[in-house]
Amino acid sequence: MKKLLFLTFLFSLSVSAQEYVDLLRIGYGQTFNNNFEGTDSSTFVKFFEAGFTFPVVLNENHALITGADFSRNNLQLFPEAEYTSLYSTNLKLGLASTWSEKWSTTIVLLPKIASDYKNISGDDFYFGGFALLKLKRNENLKYRFGVYASQEAFGLFTTPILGWYYLSPNKRFEMDMSLPISADVSYKFGTTTVGMDYFGIGRSYKVHYENLPTLYADLSSLEFAGYLQFNALEESVLLRAKLGYSSNNYEMYAEGEKMDLGVSAFSFGDDRTQLNPSLNGGVFFKLEAIYRFHIQKKSEVEEPVSN
């Protein structure tokens, strides 16, 4: 599990799958304790995430995808060191297309700047993107197949995406799977939803120290959590509390040290020298707020009654 660099973002717009778009998402939380291996030192990670998506309908078959995501992680990267904030800001620009009753595609470009935001330069800029092919099996089950690729501080990374979306006929049980990136299983009890989710995240950040060579942090983390969600304003505002375990690890390397290729959980040609002790995972708590726009199908729109 040396290299678990997964997609940090999976676009939820899919008229042929979920019948909603999450336009705004905000999250804040922290881990309770993360120990540095082989030392008596520990740290905790505070994190803040915000993102918005704004689809622009071009015609009945195509929609332009625009938006942005921002994240901030604050922690000690070395034992007994000062706390460092790591930032990531990415833009979203893509196209969602429906080709037939069963087939649709989504292609999104994801340029980003990721560093401690000190002395920002072109070296802090990375380019990525993903493509999805979606198959509507029936009204309740849809499949998705795709690929994600990104340039990072350590080199090129890519991973396949295989998943499905299922909503039970009574609209209470929901499964949203995009493996190996994310998984979400939930059951709705009126205004309350209980669920479990998993998210594999990976990012790299340039870190600048005064009068010292530039380093980069290679983050790999798997998050497993249970959550309780309150559905407000006809399920347009979702308030979620999560408790789980995150295997945070922020490995530090000298700028310029790279591996040949990362593919999902595997790395090839990786002979880098890690500069800090590995960081153990820990329990985390997170609060999330989501603004969700529901897409009303034409077949569900009532025609006015003529007199």
> pLDDT tens, 56-77?
999 989 999 999 999 999 999 9
Question: How much is the pTM?
Answer: 0.86
**Range scoring the smallest mean pLDDT among 20-29, 263-272, 291-300:** 291-300
Domain ranges in the chain?
A: 20-292
Higher pLDDT, 210 or 197: 197
* Residues contacting residue 296 through CB under 8 Å, at least 6 positions apart: none
- Whole-number pLDDT of residue 142: 94
- Whole-number pLDDT of residue 200: 83
pLDDT tier for residue 7 given thresholds of 50, 70 and 90? very low
- Whole-number pLDDT of residue 156: 86
- Whole-number pLDDT of residue 31: 94
Residue of 69, 97, 96 lying closest to 9 (CA atoms): 69
Domain 20-292 fold: Porin (2.40.160)
Backbone angles phi, psi at 125, to 5 degrees: -100, 135
Could you tell me the two tokens for 38?
A: 């082989």
Tens of pLDDT along 156-168?
888 899 999 999 9
